[in-house]
Amino acid sequence: MSAYDPAPSAQPVEFSVDLTAHEMLRRAHVMDAVGPTWDPVKALREEDAAQDLLYSDLDEEQQRIYDELVAAGVLPRRGDGRAAA
């Protein structure tokens, strides 16, 4: 195939794009956005606490649905497999 021949080749064409510089810029922007006081361990603990709160005080029907979702792999198994009390 040439620039003057619009018929595509049946052979695969190698195509690659180096996104290294863009990825480094993206990471720099993310770190700038979260700021110097961001604590990833604290963020994960707070996320776990929010999950516990979300699934706490379920009635029987809600607990049954929760258990089904865990068994189906939709929700991750947490602690002893029961929603937080």
In this prediction the pTM is: 0.50
Which residue bears the tokens 């029987």? 60
Q: Considering the domain boundaries, does residue 51 fall inside one?
A: yes
- pLDDT digit of tens for each residue in the chain (85 aa)? 566 777 777 888 888 989 999 999 999 999 999 999 999 999 999 999 998 898 889 999 999 999 999 999 999 887 655 555 4
Report the number of distinct structural domains present in the chain: 1
pLDDT at position 6: 73
Chain centroid, CA 10 distance in Å: 38
- How far apart are alpha carbons 67 and 81 in whole angstroms? 8
- How far apart are alpha carbons 48 and 78 in whole angstroms? 10
Q: Considering the domain boundaries, does residue 81 fall inside one?
A: yes
Q: Considering the domain boundaries, does residue 26 fall inside one?
A: no
Q: Considering the domain boundaries, does residue 73 fall inside one?
A: yes
pLDDT at position 37: 93
Q: Do the Cβ atoms of 58 and 85 come closer than 8 Å?
A: no
Q: Considering the domain boundaries, does residue 69 fall inside one?
A: yes
pLDDT at position 1: 53
Q: Considering the domain boundaries, does residue 72 fall inside one?
A: yes
- How far apart are alpha carbons 67 and 63 in whole angstroms? 6
Q: Domain range for residue 80? A: 39-85
Q: Considering the domain boundaries, does residue 11 fall inside one?
A: no
Q: Considering the domain boundaries, does residue 64 fall inside one?
A: yes
